[in-house]
Amino acid sequence: EAGVTQFPSHSVIEKGQTVTLRCDPISGHDNLYWYRRVMGKEIKFLLHFVKESKQDESGMPNNRFLAERTGGTYSTLKVQPAELEDSGVYFCASSQDRWQQFFGPGTRLTVL
């Protein structure tokens, strides 16, 4: 069974540009989560989808971040415009039954 996949693995952009991260959850997992670790900090929750609906977006830092999950399959996280403090590693996770979240390898975002 394929795990959670994320694309790209690395992204380097300049401040003010736009970046879109993609997550493909494990097939059949209705729950999809985004987390991130910015430099020097813990892994922090961003939001949770159940199928295509946002169940909890309490961790989204501001309106520069937009997450979508059209069709309830893969998800995208867009940062527009990117700021220096957005640099970090963005993780996606998925789960079937809420008890166990399976994480992807992460996307390392560097904003210059």
Partner 1 sequence: GESVGLHLPTLSVQEGDNSIINCAYSNSASDYFIWYKQESGKGPQFIIDIRSNMDKRQGQRVTVLLNKTVKHLSLQIAATQPGDSAVYFCAETSLSYNTDKLIFGTGTRLQVFP
3-class state of residue 41 by DSSP = coil
- Provide the minimum distance between the beta carbon of 30 and partner 1 in the complex, in angstroms, as a whole number: 11
75-94: which residues touch partner 1 (CB under 8 A)?
89, 91, 93
Residue closer to partner 1 (CB basis): 56 or 83: 56
- Gyration radius (Cα) of the chain, Å: 13
The stretch near partner 1 (CB under 8 A) out of 14-22, 60-68, 71-79, 103-111 is 103-111
The residues in 25-84 that bind partner 1, with binding defined as CB under 8 A, are: 31, 33, 35, 37, 39-45, 48, 55-56, 58-59
Residue with tokens 């959850």: 25
The residues with which 102 forms a beta bridge, in sequence order, are 94
For partner 1, give the closer residue by CB, 32 or 79: 32
Q: Among 99, 95, 107, 109, which residue's Cα sits nearest to residue 49?
A: 95
Tokens describing residue 36 = 């991130």
For residue 101, give the DSSP letter.
Answer: P
Contact residues toward partner 1 (CB under 8 A) are 4, 31, 33, 35, 37, 39-45, 48, 55-56, 58-59, 89, 91, 93, 95, 98-106, 108
